[in-house]
Amino acid sequence: MIKMLNIKETRFLEKHNFKRELGQYFTGTYVAYYMASMFHKLNSLQVCNKVRILDAGAGAGILSKAAIQRCIKLGFKNIEVIVYEIDKDLISILKQSFSRIKEDLDEKGIILNYKIINKDFILERPDQNKEKFHFSIMNPPYFKYLVKTSCYGQKTADLFKGDPNIYASFMAVGLNCLKNNGQMVVIVPRSFTNGLYFKGFREYLTKEGSLEKIHIFKSRDKVFKDSNVLQESIICKITKSKQKENIEIVSSNCDKDIKNANTNIYPSPLIIDDTENMNIIHIPETIKDSKIMLKANLLSSTFEKEGYFISTGKIVGFRTKEFITTKKLKNSVPVLKAHNIKAGVISWDGKHKKDTLFILKENYEKHINIEDIYVLIKRFTAKDDKKRLVSAVYEPFYNKDVIGFDNKINYIGRKEGNFDFTEASGLSAVLNSTFMDKYFRCFSGNTQVNATEVRIMKFPKREAIINIGKDIIKTLELELEQYVIDKIVEKHLWRK
């Protein structure tokens, strides 16, 4: 067994747990060994007794060491490791660490050659030098960049289009570095699995690789402790080949609970949804979740196909300070915010500490909406909230021609034609139903409800939505119990 870290290295990492400016979040021992255990020896590799490993963004080399250990267990006697690390403070630790490992393996008759490269992995693009590897293991940095202004902007444009996150660029280049049937294991945020920003990357990923395994951690704060990582982290195994028929989904509460993880295998079309060419990646944590997804696939349409639009509120607080007031002026209208929305109910009286109004002075038009019937939905909820989807019907109530919607909410209407209260009530009920909430959670690991995700959701026909609205109105209740909403929605959702 290779010793992962000595006392000096451990104290260094405890002192420098992560470097925010470099997007670094170091991998723990449990996770490192688990990730490396996902590598398997392919028939094509068994012919050759030499294996090449790539570790991009190596940190202190924890993942590299785990990968070396795994290769020894697989029977390799000749191992070459190439590591990239941009942080100069870690280079000496990497050199000392690999030197000790090499001495230890020399005594056991195992050849280890290593190369430590103190350069930016993406800017170097080793794949363009036709460097190929059998295994790639990485915990890439996380930070956003803009194609037009960042030095990373055009470096991966030959692989995929868009403004995602640096970790997606690491994954794309890492995959392109693999030999045919080579394997890559990464630990990354879940955000790439959905949303418009990562559409180009997902297209590249599903075209060039086979997603074979996903491990999801249910507790986001127990994988990278003390690092303020707010997104759910997942481990993915991807093979450089055509997509296999099945994908393995594993879930555990945290890193130390990996041995007690739940494992299920699903057909790849259930996990990778190519609706509207978005290639959304669903992650059912349980069998119940997979049944929700199978049931959703029976719905005959999508949100967008039924003629609805969804947009984000236009009022951005810090950009419109000059228009915002708490006083009820004659030339002002309410600004509806997330706190004004509860399931099925919108309330604004100006008395809440967060209630504000929007002054209709010069150049106000681009920030407000025409008064009409809308369905409003919160964009942000806490991960531990009971509901991710929270919506209500907005009816004109302030006797003005316009109304303000804060950018922390989404507003929904019809692209063409009349959108009356009945239909809006039905649409809001569908979104507030337990079934649709669980379905949404299967492909969204964020606390944010993105408009792009809603647009491609499987959805009932408009006729069913209107009928749901009629039944909702018949109840004559302002605030319905959840079981009542679910009963009405279920009654019409699966009716042919």
pLDDT, tens only, 150-161: 888 889 999 999
Residue 92 belongs to a domain: yes
Q: Please tell me whether residues 104 and 219 are part of one structural domain.
A: yes
Residue 343 belongs to a domain: yes
Measured distance CA(220)–CA(28) in Å, rounded: 14
Measured distance CA(174)–CA(176) in Å, rounded: 5
Greater confidence (291 vs 12) lies with 291
Residue 303 belongs to a domain: no
Q: Please tell me whether residues 377 and 243 are part of one structural domain.
A: no
Q: Please tell me whether residues 73 and 217 are part of one structural domain.
A: yes
Exposed, middle or buried, 108 (CB in 10 Å: 0-12/13-18/19+)? exposed
Q: Please tell me whether residues 102 and 239 are part of one structural domain.
A: yes
Residue 59 belongs to a domain: yes
Residue 341 belongs to a domain: yes
Domains contained in the chain, number: 2
Greater confidence (416 vs 218) lies with 416
Task: State the average pLDDT over residues 428-436.
Answer: 96
> Mean pLDDT lowest for which of 383-397, 404-418, 429-443, 462-476?
383-397
Q: Please tell me whether residues 214 and 100 are part of one structural domain.
A: yes
**The whole model's pTM is what?**
0.84
CATH number at residue 111: 3.40.50.150
Residue 293 belongs to a domain: no
Task: State the average pLDDT over residues 230-237.
Answer: 81
For the four alpha carbons of 13, 14, 16 and 22, in that order, the dihedral sign comes to: positive
Q: Please tell me whether residues 134 and 228 are part of one structural domain.
A: yes
For the four alpha carbons of 404, 319, 161 and 450, in that order, the dihedral sign comes to: negative
Q: Please tell me whether residues 481 and 357 are part of one structural domain.
A: yes
pLDDT, tens only, 31-58: 899 999 999 987 655 446 789 999 998 9
Highest mean pLDDT pick, 13-22, 23-32, 189-198: 189-198
Q: Please tell me whether residues 319 and 363 are part of one structural domain.
A: yes
Residue 296 belongs to a domain: no
The residues near 47 (Cβ < 8 Å, ≥ 6 apart) are: none
CATH number at residue 452: 3.90.220.20
Position 339, amino acid: H
Domain that holds residue 332: 308-493
For the four alpha carbons of 427, 429, 435 and 439, in that order, the dihedral sign comes to: positive
Q: Please tell me whether residues 15 and 155 are part of one structural domain.
A: yes
Q: Please tell me whether residues 70 and 21 are part of one structural domain.
A: yes
**Above pLDDT 90, what percent of the chain?**
68
Which pLDDT value is given to residue 442? 86
Q: Please tell me whether residues 210 and 279 are part of one structural domain.
A: yes
pLDDT, tens only, 83-128: 999 999 899 999 999 999 999 999 999 999 999 999 999 999 999 9
Supply the angle between the helices 434-441 and 421-432 in degrees, to the nearest 10.
60
Q: Please tell me whether residues 386 and 257 are part of one structural domain.
A: no
Residue 397 belongs to a domain: yes
DSSP state of 324: E
Task: State the average pLDDT over residues 188-217.
Answer: 93
Please provide the average confidence, as pLDDT, over all residues in the chain: 88
